[in-house]
Chains A and B, each alone.
Chain A
Amino acid sequence: MKKTILVFISLIMIFPMLIVLLLSMFSYYRFPLILPQHFTNTFWKTAVVENPLFVSSLANSIVLATCNGICSTVVGIMTARALVRHEFMGKRVVRMFFTLPLFIPAMALFLGVHSVMIRLQLMNHCSGIILAHMLISVPYGINIFISFFQGINRDMEDVGKTLGCTPITLFSRIVLPLIMPGIYLSFSISFLISFTEYFSTFLIGGGNIITFSTMMYPYVHNGDLGNGAVLGIIFISINVGIFYLTEYLSRKKLKIDSYLFE
């Protein structure tokens, strides 16, 4: 019974992707046809090979997403560490401030960010886009690392100190290995957020910086289903690829199950 439901749910999720795949390979697929007709590779040719923006936009996206992944993870680690290990004035306010972007509608948030970026002269700059993306991804990073740091017994760090660790060796030899799964997780989430973000990239990039999602949008928007489907397939594959890569890496690192939270 449980299995049937699972299979059913997966089918519901996979079915639309299947249609996208069919749309990218056949030129004629209309109602009431059940199976599409006229197999063709023209869509793949025009959307990938002959598309002048394909390589540059994909490269832009990957660079921006990687930068966002690294920055959000670093900021997440530092903020979470401060929130868990130290007492300071306005701790709750800081925590709330960092979760706020999760509740405010993206449209309202980025209109505000837009005017700030103009003043900071970061419009049409990659750094502006990364900062905007970080607004959405940092809260995830912080919350991931808060739970990781809470899982590390403070006394374990004290053990390290009594064995002669300086704060730097303590972090690199004890803390870092223990939060490694969190780093993979936070990096992949931030990467995917940046990679899939359309609105803020478009707004802050001002049309000068074309990423994969901004490049793809006009195709879908204009009803160019064939080419849109090709780009969609590539988009999905990259996302799924990143997801499974991090899953694999964190599994490999985490040889022992659940050693945290002992």
Chain B
Amino acid sequence: MKIDLQNITKQYGETMILDGVSIQVKQGRLLSILGYSGAGKTTILKIISGLVKQDEGRVMINGIDISGCPVEKRNIGYVFQSPLLFPHMTVEENIRFGLEIKKWDSARTQARIAQLLELLQIEGLEKRMPSMISGGQQQRVAIARALAPEPEILLMDEPFSSLDPTLRYEMGELIKEIQEKCKLTIVFVTHDRNESLALSHEIAILIDGKIAQIDNPKNIYYRPVNKAVARFMGSCNFIPGKIEAGTFYSSIGALKTDEEDGDKTLFIRPEQIRIDAEGKGFIIKSCKSIGKEVIYTIGTENLNLTVETLGYEIFFVGQQVGLLFPQDGLYFMTGA
């Protein structure tokens, strides 16, 4: 295990920011921490890097407790939300800075800088001052600066939140590429669920200072452990009902399943449901087009479901339709 946070607790004054947080990240994996703003995501990174000291719990790197080790000796790269380049140094001096501090010899330093300039595609900017390059370029330089001393772990705190969407996507791809090339272990903090679903091997959901779920992106999205995680990852439907002898009975009708008997709630994402124009039993209550997809609210008297379809509107409000549910892979949560 590369990074192993054990039962981390942190309190600022009266407010409990982190309450018994445990996270494991394997060597060469990218874990992202997702949570609402102010949930304590940044605090976790600061505790791993040593900038903030935890109240309780242990930070283990490669199986060694480094809780007592000062920041400057940890050799963990940290990319902040804003680039924070040193304004009195050129791009090259910024990247060189960490190597000078670590007293690398000049041949090795030159080679490393050239390698990073190429890796982050910022060749030709070496002699510029930070104020003379764009925001995206600044963030690339910041990443190069953090990577320069060859850290084994890179922490990234919403590094692309100030960039526009296209650039953001590009940077995400770049990070993935670098991560694979350098076999880096990355902990990535974000509040953008699409970004984290696209980039990560594992996602940890932080809600109210606790890790609600830590799993691969597919499970986080389709098999959330509770309603809070489900809602955090996007719009969703909960259908309460009961399973008896391999059949799920609810207000949407009966569905076959091999789950155990008992009171259960069917969890289903809006895009998993298909609309059947020939069918009956449901009424379209509203519809909203948001470009590439249409969001319908469809329901019976006592139940409303959100359904998303690609393309333009083909159903109208008030129309009688049927709904098609997937036949297998249904996910049930315990309880009503």
Contact = CB atoms under 8 A, between A and B. Distances in A.
Contact of A164 (B51, B102, B131): B102
Interface string A161-198: 11111100100011001100000000000000000000
A165 B72 contact: yes
Contacts of B299: none
A153 interface: yes
A162 B146 contact: yes
A231 B76 CA distance: 62
B101 A155 contact: no
A256 B97 contact: no
B78 A162 contact: yes
Given A155-B82, A173-B97, A162 B87 contact: no
B49 interface: yes
A174 B72 CA distance: 15
Given A174-B86, A259-B88, A161 B131 contact: no
A159 interface: yes
Contacts of A260: 87
A164 B80 contact: no
Contacts of B72: 161-162, 164-166
B149 interface: yes
Interface residues on A, range: 20 to 34
Given A178-B88, A256-B129, A259-B87, A162 B77 contact: yes
A243 B131 CA distance: 29
A163 B87 contact: no
Contacts of A159: 78, 80, 84, 86, 145
Nearest to B157: A155
Nearest to A170: B72
Contacts of A165: 72, 101
Contacts of A158: 51, 71, 78, 80
Interface string B75-115: 11110101010111000000001100110000000000000
A156 B149 CA distance: 17
A18 B182 CA distance: 72
A164 B74 CA distance: 8
Interface string B275-309: 00000000000000000000000000000000000
Nearest to B132: A256
Interface string B46-86: 00010100000000000000000001111111101010101
A164 B146 CA distance: 11
Contacts of A259: 87-88, 129-131
A158 B146 CA distance: 12
Contacts of A155: 80, 82, 84
A156 B71 CA distance: 14
A161 B87 contact: no
Interface string B220-251: 00000000000000000000000000000000
A114 B87 CA distance: 46
A219 B76 CA distance: 68
Given A164-B72, A259-B131, A153 B84 contact: yes
Contacts of B149: 163-164
A177 B145 CA distance: 19
A229 B146 CA distance: 62
A161 B101 contact: no
Contacts of A177: 88
A169 B71 contact: no
A164 B101 contact: yes
A41 B214 CA distance: 90
Contacts of A161: 51, 71-72
A260 B80 CA distance: 18
Nearest to A164: B101
Contacts of B80: 155, 158-159
B101 A169 contact: yes
B25 to A, nearest CB: 18
A160 B72 CA distance: 8
A156 to B, nearest CB: 5
A173 B100 CA distance: 11
23 contacts: A155-B82, A156-B84, A159-B78, A160-B86, A160-B97, A161-B71, A161-B72, A162-B51, A162-B71, A162-B74, A162-B76, A162-B78, A162-B146, A163-B145, A163-B146, A163-B148, A164-B75, A164-B102, A164-B149, A178-B87, A178-B88, A256-B88, A256-B129
10 closest Cβ pairs, A-B complex: A259-B87, A163-B98, A162-B78, A164-B101, A161-B71, A177-B88, A156-B84, A164-B72, A159-B84, A158-B51
Interface of B: 49, 51, 71-78, 80, 82, 84, 86-88, 97-98, 101-102, 129-131, 145-146, 148-149
